[in-house]
Structure 1
Amino acid sequence: MNEFKQVTIADPGPLGLAGFGLTTCVLSAMNAGIVPATDMGVVLPLAMAYGGASQLLAGMWEFRKGNTFGATAFTSYGAFWISFYLLVSHVSSLGSGVGVGIGMFLLMWGIFTLYMFVGTFYLNKALFFVFLFLTITFFLLASANFSGTSVVVGGWFGIITGVLALYTSFAGIINANANKIVIPLGKSFLKVHHD
């Protein structure tokens, strides 16, 4: 008689958050003017490999774990980074008025992030703040692209977002290794009731 052992997987959350946070910090440093925009070629491979592919993988593993929020978030933002790579790689062929198109791209990501942010009310405070700052970042960047103004403010909010995501990733790794809460994430604002 064959017995099948239950296979468990590690928490993919810290990987997805690290891929998101690190890539966001690098791009946002360019948007904030800390790193010259001419160095965009540095962000593109990172967007495709770590921000994109690693988050897509984390999203698939979250589906395996039954985590709808994590699966939707990581898969979506992995796709965001891959589409960002493709967009920037082809921006010169898009012609004039591309700022409005990029503004629409960022606005729709802001709307998606806003409703994901509402979902964090039931999760920890660290994720709440990651999604709060990410929502603000997308709307600031969208507004700047629509109006043709500077993206510097959006860049600084993006840096805060990336650092918060890296903190949350770090906490997930340390807490899992210690098998206890060492790095606080904060309790959710709303309690989940199971009937």
Structure 2
Amino acid sequence: MDHSSDSKRAPELVFAEPTPLGLLGLALGCAALTPIAFGASLTPEGLRTAAAFCLLFGAGCQFLAGIMNFANKNLFGGTLFLAFSFNWMLNYMVLSGLAEGRAPDHGVLLAADACALVIFVVFTYGFGFFSKLLFLFLLDIDLLYLGKVINGATGTAALNLPIAVFTVALGVLSLYIAFAMLINPVANRRVFPVPGPAYRPAPATGFDASVRRTVLEILYRHFREHAFQEMPRDDFLRESRARLGEINVQPDVFYLAERRLVSITPAESPAWLKSLRLTAEGVDLYERTALGKSGSL
């Protein structure tokens, strides 16, 4: 057995993608907190009920998602979900205490919220490298915690309504991202569109094949729907920008054309391209490398 080739392969996932589980738990936790955030259900029964949701869904689902993300070698996902799960366990303790007439220490909570705000701001920057939607998701958390810190520092409840709105928005964003991750792969199309990165990292040393893989993936999806009918330039650029941001794909498209994997219909400069499609060789290459096809057909 040739172990040298095995060592170059990406490690196999230990678990199926756990992120939707964490997001659905987060959404249910936010839903349980929504009446309280808007000033309703402030009875012992309401507080205890919300506390149970915080523990089981807010903390429990995100704890599982965090552990499984770490097992899958996902540093960002594991760190965020685990840190957030303990925060939701704190929500459980606070609500349970309030239901029994015990209030938490104001100074301790304010200091912890201020620290959490700093942490989530840094996370927001990091997740912008993955998707604009994830950036918005973390930005909502930032604004929620900013409102809590301002309320706590000033001793007022002036931002209670914005905090409640941000809580609802967090639940909605969590549901949308979870649905996108669950449904889009099953439907094999973007039922729930997810935009590309908010910004790109510095160019890595060495060769990066992600742009060419993305071009082939976009054109293969078009092939499955339209066979060898060419994809209009505007449609292709819209798809590529959603996936890759403002990266210039022209060199990679022409490279793939030189390899006879892509057929293009040129246009006058500056458009450079009228339409394009995969060739049979391009379809075969994509199915072999991305879909694991074996054999000649």
The TM-score, its normalising length taken from structure 1, stands at 0.86
Could you say which residue in structure 1 is the equivalent of 2:35? 29
Query: Is 1:190 aligned to 2:199, yes or no?
Result: yes
Deviations 1:17-68 (A, max 9, x none): 11112212321332123x3322222211111111101111101111122111
Which deviates more, 85-94 or 11-20?
85-94
More helix by share: 1
Aligned-residue RMSD, C-alpha: 2.0
Query: Is 1:9 aligned to 2:15, yes or no?
Result: yes
Is the 1:15–1:54 Cα contact (8 Å) retained in structure 2? Answer: yes
Is the 1:122–1:189 Cα contact (8 Å) retained in structure 2? Answer: yes
Partner of residue 19 from structure 1, selected from 9, 17, 25: 25
Point out where structure 1 has 5 or more consecutive residues left out of the alignment: 1-5
Query: Is 1:139 aligned to 2:146, yes or no?
Result: yes
Query: Is 1:124 aligned to 2:128, yes or no?
Result: no
Structure 1 counterpart of 2:124, one-letter code? F
CA distance in 1, matches of 2:204, 2:22: 27
**CA 1:72–1:149: 2 relative to 1, 3 Å:** same
Could you say which residue in structure 1 is the equivalent of 2:5? none
How many residues in Structure 1 have an aligned counterpart in Structure 2? 187
Partner of residue 163 from structure 1, selected from 150, 172, 193: 172
Is the 2:183–2:191 Cα contact (8 Å) retained in structure 1? Answer: yes
CA distance in 2, matches of 1:16, 1:70: 10
CA distance in 2, matches of 1:14, 1:177: 14
- Written as runs of structure 1 = structure 2, the 5 A alignment for 1:43-82 is 43-82=50-89
Percentage identity across paired residues of the two chains: 25
Could you say which residue in structure 2 is the equivalent of 1:107? 114
CA distance in 2, matches of 1:32, 1:119: 31
1:175 positional shift: 1.3
CA distance in 2, matches of 1:53, 1:64: 17
Could you say which residue in structure 2 is the equivalent of 1:173? 182
Is the 2:30–2:167 Cα contact (8 Å) retained in structure 1? Answer: yes
Q: Which has the higher contact order (CA 8 A, sep 6+)?
A: 1
Could you say which residue in structure 1 is the equivalent of 2:250? none
Could you say which residue in structure 2 is the equivalent of 1:154? 163
**CA 1:82–1:15: 2 relative to 1, 3 Å:** same
The TM-score, its normalising length taken from structure 2, stands at 0.58
1:94 positional shift: 5.2
Q: In structure 2, the residue corresponding to 1:122 is in which secondary structure?
A: coil
CA distance in 2, matches of 1:7, 1:136: 34
Point out where structure 2 has 5 or more consecutive residues left out of the alignment: 1-11, 206-297
